[in-house]
Amino acid sequence: VCIVQKRDTEKMYAMKYMNKQQCIERDEVRNVFRELEILQEIEHVFLVNLWYSFQDEEDMFMVVDLLLGGDLRYHLQQNVQFTEETVKLYICEMALALDYLRSQHIIHRDVKPDNILLDEQGHAHLTDFNIATIIRDGERATALAGTKPYMAPEIFHSFLNGGTGYSFEVDWWSLGIMAYELLRGWRPYDIHSNNPVESLVQLFSTVSVQYSSTWSKEMVALLRKLLTVNPEHRFSCLADIQASAYLSGVVWSDVCEKRVEPGFVPNKGRLHCDPTFELEEMILESRPLHKKKKRLAKNKSRDNSKDSSQSENDYLQECLEAIQ
């Protein structure tokens, strides 16, 4: 990812670029195109929106909203103490985003602190539609997809026992797990990526969530409704959330317009990411963008001097178009 500026408007964006060959080698092409397909159709104040997409011989590019406040995982790792009021606003903002996605028939399937980016004022934006899916006309999803500690019980149950699959409710479970983690610093269930699915199905039926005695009763009641194991009884739409006693005083039009001031504002003078990781990424970049023009021109003249009927890049392009 790099920061770019549009010349005519001078507006700044983030540009994500993916090497086509690596996408094919890692079998990621379908996911990339699904993400593009979804992002081209949606726009919402609490999503990271796609504005432009294009490609050249080597890479695919996605130009999206630039959010400089860092992700919530980074801030958790920096031991930020999120207050109830702060988390309450995140719940409201994400409820609006998830309700919008539901209206577009989209299940995100990976709501977690890593995928919530803050803008400079501290408002939350959902990103990464890599494993999102579109379901229509009463369809149900069945794939085991997501990040295990944030995945709803019915996803594991469906994978293990078949049955009817799952739907939009899974994203609201993930929201509940995330809200709990932001308030407490750890998650309500001790689940890790290497836990077998069988043990997780058992865990949800035997372990009860422990809520902090320092949290307001209304917040606990809301979290209980988000973390209800049975999806039929779980809060899973904006109307449910708005009916909660805890959020009865919320002026939703103000939330939509970003007129509610966040309790946590990222420090503008700091880089909100791990610089070691970011610098390592830059050093390891074997084909940096600023040298691309020269490299592509050299490749083109080399290809033109060959008699081969099809260059490797043409073949990769055909693969991409076939999948698209």
Q: Which pLDDT value is given to residue 58?
A: 86
DSSP per residue, 2-47: EEEE-TTT--EEEEEEEEHHHHHHTT-HHHHHHHHHHHTT---TTB
Q: Which pLDDT value is given to residue 70?
A: 92
Task: Give the pLDDT of the chain (324 residues) as one tens digit per residue.
Answer: 888 889 999 899 999 888 888 888 888 888 888 889 999 999 999 999 999 998 888 888 999 999 999 999 999 999 999 999 999 999 999 999 999 999 999 999 999 999 999 999 999 999 999 999 999 888 999 999 999 999 999 999 999 888 789 999 999 999 999 999 999 999 999 999 999 999 999 999 899 999 999 999 999 999 999 999 999 999 999 999 999 999 999 999 999 999 999 999 998 766 556 554 444 444 455 555 666 666 666 666 666 555 444 555 565 566 556 545
* Alpha-carbon span 84 to 261, nearest angstrom: 14
Q: Which pLDDT value is given to residue 34?
A: 87
* Alpha-carbon span 210 to 299, nearest angstrom: 60
Q: Which pLDDT value is given to residue 89?
A: 98
Q: Which residues contact 302 (CB under 8 A, 6 or more apart)?
A: none
* Alpha-carbon span 103 to 44, nearest angstrom: 12
Nearest Cα to Cα of residue 303 among 53, 58, 6, 23: 58
| Residues with catalytic function | 110
Nearest Cα to Cα of residue 240 among 173, 181, 155: 173
Asked if 258 and 45 count as a contact pair (C-beta separation under 8 A), the reply is yes
Q: Which two tokens stand for residue 176?
A: 């509940």
* Alpha-carbon span 93 to 96, nearest angstrom: 5
Output DSSP code: residue 322.
H
Hey, what CATH class is 2-66+287-323 in?
alpha beta
∠ Cα 120 123 129 (to 5°):
105
Q: What CATH number is given for 72-256 in this structure?
A: 1.10.510.10
Greatest distance between any 2 Cα atoms in the chain = 75
Q: Which two tokens stand for residue 112?
A: 């977690």
DSSP per residue, 208-276: -PPPPTTS-HHHHHHHHHHT-SSGGGS--SHHHHHTSGGGTT--HHHHHTT-SPPS----TTS--S-HH
Query: What are the residue ranges spanned by the domains of the chain?
Result: 2-66+287-323, 72-256
* Alpha-carbon span 315 to 310, nearest angstrom: 7
